[in-house]
Structure 1
Amino acid sequence: MPTVSGAIALHSSLCTISSDKPSLPNHVYVATKPKNLLQNHPLYTPTNAKLSIQFKEKILCLEILGIDAGKALSQNPELHTATMESIHSIISFLISKGIHQKDLPRIFGMCPKILTSNIKTDLNPVFYFLLQDLQVQDHNFRKVVKKNPRLLTSSVINQLKPALFYLKKLGFKDLAALAYQDSILLVSNVEGTLIPKLMYLESLGFSKDEARFMVLRCPSLFTFSIENNFQPKFEYFDEEMGGKLEELKEFPQYFAFSLENRIKPRYLEVVESGIHLPLSVMLKSTDEDFRELIKKGGG
């Protein structure tokens, strides 16, 4: 993959395309083969034959940077009118913040909206939030952004600060954990996502403090679907396993395991062996350790 500076230089040459072959270094020109690459690209169908040369250059440059141009344009229509100069400024800005070129395809692939962000009003506030509110040192920006590119498309005022305030109120005090491990919570809607998960846990019979304790023990509970995760797993736990709420309070990670691939098969083996295993031991044990436990219990 060409370097960012190389790709930018390439675009500068492409922007002056005429009927003559662009004057590019041989090693770069091989990667751009005038018409074949453009004609064979899925976006260049006969119905798109009248695409402007500037638009074609944009697609080509995005692809050279390792970005799926078709997907990016589909998910972010604003890219259709964005200039390559503005896109290059976004890339240069991220590089200046410690992001590596090899990270860009994944970052832009997950969040094409970043490509049309405003550096002053959108991106700079996020990095200031990371530095001031989450106490992330600038040399660690890359680690945080790689983990969760959605941070760069989130409003600091309307999303990140309210989420951080709510999480702190719940008892999340480890800023490093929020930044490097659980940053998905910061881009989750407080009223639409976080609060409903707590309310659901309370509806199962847990007190407010118990529900809060559970999410502090297992922050990923905030990321699980009520319909597709909580409900079926709790129903199995309650109706088939005859479990007690106390067990889930002590081991909320239960909801993080696959119902079909882990919970059901292991529980059935435990029942068949006639032994009793704590919920955490039954699910957290490696396959080898679990087999050994079953073997000893059955013996």
Structure 2
Amino acid sequence: MMKSLLFSTHPTPPLLPAPRLRSLLRLRASSSSASASAPPRAARRSPRPAPSRRPPSSSLYARPSLLDMERERAARRADVDAFLASLGVDPGELAGFELPVTVDVMRERAEFLASLGLTREDLAAYPLALGCSVRKNMVPVLDYLGKLGVRRDALPDLLRRYPQVLHASVVVDLAPVVKYLQGMDVRPNDVPRVLERYPELLGFKLEGTMSTSIAYLVGIGVARRQIGSVITRFPEVLGMRVGKIIKPFIEYLEGIGVQRLSAARIIEKKPYVLGFGLEDKVKPNIEALMEFGVRKEALASIVMQYPDVLGLELRDKLVTQQSLFESSILVSHDDFGRVIERMPQAINLGRTAVLKHVNFLTACGFMLSQVSKMVVACPQLLALNMDIMRMNFEYFKNEMERDLEELVEFPAFFTYGLESTVRPRHEMVSRKGFTCSLAWLLNCSDARFDERMKYDTIGVEEMEAEESSDMNAFLEEVESEEEEYSDYDDSDDEFVR
């Protein structure tokens, strides 16, 4: 009993497995755990996909290779070149030029230029215009020109002559030129007309040809106050080289007898004469005048009276006019030269005008030989207003009661205003009881005539002196009025002295 109590008080501890058994138990436990979480056997045997070295194309971090980029760029440029070819533009002209990457952008540029009035031929002539951005280049430039006052209908010609303006910077290139023109006294309202006529100005450097040409003109005597007018009427002068164009032109005029100051006055009134080519126009025209009977000493007078003669297609005109004068007025070769000397605008008289005046004079009772003499002495007879001539002749015949031969000797009578000069002077002389020639009566200033009316008699010597110099004085007066006849052309328009 004691033995049983002892055993119940101290129970026997459980037996521990042997080391080999523990190992087997652990292996079984781990195997059991793994089998519970493992996928089905078939799934385990499916092959695993090979890892990719390159992310899929949809990845945000994908980057095309340089070769791919170059191929894509070439394809787009090929499309653009094909579009250019469809416009008639040689794509080779724009090789190496950065162009839009899409045809749509290029089409926008082409359509915008077309809206300005440029044709396909214009684009083919200057394909670089298609290299300008509509928003960055074209619109700012055109907006600036529009604000200056350049007319919309003048833009096509302006862009054809100077398409480089589309590449210009308003601030760096255009605004300084406009400021320079205004500084030369070109009025703001005239600036757009200057640019329309000579858009190449917009590409000039201010310190170059522009300043040099103006300085030279002022140096030869062109009035500083007239420079703005000269530029406005002939802006091309700003692009002329002094040494190659302006100076040789002035020196040639001096060589034929035109004084430098007189040349300056010609340029003030008609600056475009500087654009007449010296070798191909001016010199051949001067030679032609001498061939047709004009004396060398009269050349300067002709140029000062009618500077346009330097730029005409002169030889053909002289042939035509000489034939007309010889056949209709019996003017000889030498006399034809005198006619041109006294009124070079006669070169442009139309046949109708000449015959109309000749017929009027013969209807007045003059013989054709007398008409010839009158025309040689006063060629202006062929261009006077017919109504003025008719009124003067009727007064001469009915009131003055003089012989027709006096008009043959002083044909300039027809050039004086009846109410302003002829009638009042004739009445004053009649009241004084003087008998005088037409030249003594008319060929003097009003002040000189008033002084004569203080005389009791007229000296014979004075009368002869007046008659011998009457036409010379008259012609000098006509030469001083060169502006009056400067616009005479091939029409039958008439002028009144």
Q: Is 1:74 equivalent to 2:194 in the alignment?
A: no
Q: 2:339 aligns with which of 240, 248, 272?
A: 248
Query: Distance between the aligned counterparts of 1:183 and 1:216, measured in 2?
Result: 13
Query: Distance between the aligned counterparts of 2:208 and 2:352, measured in 1?
Result: 46
Query: Distance between the aligned counterparts of 1:295 and 1:76, measured in 2?
Result: 60
Residues 266 and 307 in structure 2, CA contact (< 8 A), matched pair in contact too: no
Query: Distance between the aligned counterparts of 1:207 and 1:200, measured in 2?
Result: 11
Q: 1:89 aligns with which of 152, 176, 182?
A: 176
The verdict on how the C-alpha distance between 1:243 and 1:40 changes in structure 2, with shifts beyond 3 A counting, is same
Residues 342 and 379 in structure 2, CA contact (< 8 A), matched pair in contact too: yes
Query: Which 5+ residue runs of structure 2 have no aligned equivalent?
Result: 1-111, 124-128, 399-497
Q: Is 1:144 equivalent to 2:144 in the alignment?
A: no
The verdict on how the C-alpha distance between 1:210 and 1:43 changes in structure 2, with shifts beyond 3 A counting, is closer
Q: 2:350 aligns with which of 243, 255, 259?
A: 259
Deviations 1:182-221 (A, max 9, x none): 4333332221111100111122233433445533443332
Q: Is 1:219 equivalent to 2:325 in the alignment?
A: no
Residue 229 of structure 1 aligns to which amino acid in structure 2? K
Query: Distance between the aligned counterparts of 1:72 and 1:101, measured in 2?
Result: 19
Kindly tell me the number of residue pairs found equivalent between the two proteins.
261
Query: Distance between the aligned counterparts of 2:379 and 2:270, measured in 1?
Result: 22
Name the counterpart of 1:43: 117
Name the counterpart of 2:139: 56
Query: Distance between the aligned counterparts of 2:230 and 2:221, measured in 1?
Result: 11
Residue 166 of structure 1 aligns to which amino acid in structure 2? Y
Q: Is 1:289 equivalent to 2:419 in the alignment?
A: no
Residues 339 and 379 in structure 2, CA contact (< 8 A), matched pair in contact too: no
The verdict on how the C-alpha distance between 1:104 and 1:41 changes in structure 2, with shifts beyond 3 A counting, is farther
What displacement does 1:258 show?
A: 3.5
Name the counterpart of 2:211: 124
Query: Distance between the aligned counterparts of 1:267 and 1:228, measured in 2?
Result: 23
What displacement does 1:166 show?
A: 1.1
Query: Distance between the aligned counterparts of 1:179 and 1:227, measured in 2?
Result: 24
Moved more, 275-284 or 62-71: 275-284
Residues 201 and 239 in structure 2, CA contact (< 8 A), matched pair in contact too: yes
The verdict on how the C-alpha distance between 1:113 and 1:272 changes in structure 2, with shifts beyond 3 A counting, is farther
Residue 202 of structure 1 aligns to which amino acid in structure 2? M
The verdict on how the C-alpha distance between 1:83 and 1:264 changes in structure 2, with shifts beyond 3 A counting, is farther
Query: Distance between the aligned counterparts of 2:155 and 2:203, measured in 1?
Result: 13
Residues 75 and 112 in structure 1, CA contact (< 8 A), matched pair in contact too: yes
Q: Secondary structure at the match of 1:164?
A: helix
Query: Distance between the aligned counterparts of 1:171 and 1:97, measured in 2?
Result: 31
Residue 130 of structure 1 aligns to which amino acid in structure 2? L
Q: Is 1:115 equivalent to 2:202 in the alignment?
A: yes
What displacement does 1:281 show?
A: 3.8
Query: Distance between the aligned counterparts of 2:362 and 2:294, measured in 1?
Result: 27
The alignment's TM-score, normalised by the length of structure 1, stands at: 0.73
Moved more, 263-272 or 112-121: 263-272
Moved more, 255-264 or 64-73: 255-264
Equivalence map 1:95-244=2 (5 Å): 95-137=182-224, 139-173=225-259, 174-226=262-314, 229-244=317-332
Deviations 1:154-195 (A, max 9, x none): 221211111111112222222441331243333322211111
The verdict on how the C-alpha distance between 1:76 and 1:263 changes in structure 2, with shifts beyond 3 A counting, is farther
Quick check: which has more Rg, 1 or 2?
A: 2
Residue 279 of structure 2 aligns to which amino acid in structure 1? E
Residues 266 and 283 in structure 1, CA contact (< 8 A), matched pair in contact too: yes
Q: Which has the higher contact order (CA 8 A, sep 6+)?
A: 1
The verdict on how the C-alpha distance between 1:112 and 1:171 changes in structure 2, with shifts beyond 3 A counting, is same
The verdict on how the C-alpha distance between 1:100 and 1:217 changes in structure 2, with shifts beyond 3 A counting, is closer
Deviations 1:211-268 (A, max 9, x none): 4553344333213222563332232123332223333254233435441563343234
State the 4+ residue runs in structure 1 displaced beyond 6 angstroms. 44-50, 296-299
Query: Distance between the aligned counterparts of 1:104 and 1:134, measured in 2?
Result: 24
The verdict on how the C-alpha distance between 1:267 and 1:178 changes in structure 2, with shifts beyond 3 A counting, is same
Deviations 1:85-138 (A, max 9, x none): 31211101111222111111222222222222221112111221122233432x
What displacement does 1:73 show?
A: 1.1
What displacement does 1:284 show?
A: 4.5
Name the counterpart of 1:8: none
Residue 141 of structure 2 aligns to which amino acid in structure 1? K
Query: Distance between the aligned counterparts of 1:264 and 1:241, measured in 2?
Result: 9
Residues 321 and 347 in structure 2, CA contact (< 8 A), matched pair in contact too: no
The verdict on how the C-alpha distance between 1:40 and 1:144 changes in structure 2, with shifts beyond 3 A counting, is same
Query: Distance between the aligned counterparts of 2:220 and 2:268, measured in 1?
Result: 13
Residue 385 of structure 2 aligns to which amino acid in structure 1? T
Q: 1:280 aligns with which of 366, 375, 379?
A: 379
Residues 294 and 341 in structure 2, CA contact (< 8 A), matched pair in contact too: no
Residue 196 of structure 1 aligns to which amino acid in structure 2? P
Query: Distance between the aligned counterparts of 1:168 and 1:59, measured in 2?
Result: 45
Query: Which 5+ residue runs of structure 1 have no aligned equivalent?
Result: 1-37
Moved more, 95-104 or 42-51: 42-51
Residue 203 of structure 2 aligns to which amino acid in structure 1? T
RMSD of aligned residue pairs (Cα, Å): 3.3
